[in-house]
Amino acid sequence: MTTHGHTGWADSIIYAYDQQERLALISQTVSKRSFGSGSALDFGCGTGDFSRLLLNKGLTVCGYDPFVKPNIRSKKFFYAEKYIDIRFHNHDADLALSVTTLDHILDENELLEGLRHIHSSLKTGGVFYILEYALDSVSDRKKGFQRSGYQAFRTVREWNNLLEQTSFLIRACPKSGCFVIPRFA
């Protein structure tokens, strides 16, 4: 059973600090836009910390995670264990969120498939907030950030390429995360 959310921290002290910082950052970021009573996809929802945050902001939330089903009882929360179960397939979501989940999809084709599902969930004008680890260059992998069986440690350039391949346009990428929007033909 996962007790430390989707980030998988084994040290509860580190997790307690780290997750609170992430929640505060996402809360602040989401609050800057008005989603009203819109809808959101929490991709890699884990135990549901971010889904709860989005619910508290008035959004209807679909939490996708193939490994963990959050214990959330709300008429505005829907769980998806498989891509096919994601509630928003026809560009219905106002917001998609992925927090330290995508870099754990090691196979590039699987990652591209996930990004395509995220893209297909967003309506025109919807936004995708992504918070991931990113190295500045490939040479940083030689400094202790080698790919592992758990995390890819992709570079900023690799993230840009993957997002562009799935028709996302990066609007801002501050040190604290990325604000990404889908491009529609």
CATH number at residue 154: 3.40.50.150
What pLDDT does 175 receive?
A: 58
pLDDT tens digits for range 5-63:
445 455 677 677 788 888 998 998 888 888 888 999 999 999 999 999 999 999 999 99
Domain assignment present for 14: no
Edge to edge, what strands does the sheet with 77-80 contain? Answer: 77-80, 60-64, 39-43, 93-99, 122-131, 178-182, 168-172
**Domain count across the chain:** 1
DSSP of 90-119: SS-EEEEEEES-GGG--SHHHHHHHHHHHH
Domain range enclosing 42: 21-182
Domain assignment present for 138: yes
Query: The tokens of 40 are what?
Result: 């959101």
Q: Work out the angle between the directed axes of helices 49-56 and 12-31 (0-180°, nearest 10).
A: 30
Q: What is the chain's alpha carbon radius of gyration, rounded to the nearest angstrom?
A: 16
6's CB contacts (< 8 A; 6+ apart) are: 44, 45, 46, 47, 65, 68, 99, 100, 101
Domain assignment present for 115: yes
pLDDT tens digits for range 147-179:
667 788 888 889 989 999 999 887 766 655 555
Domain assignment present for 141: yes
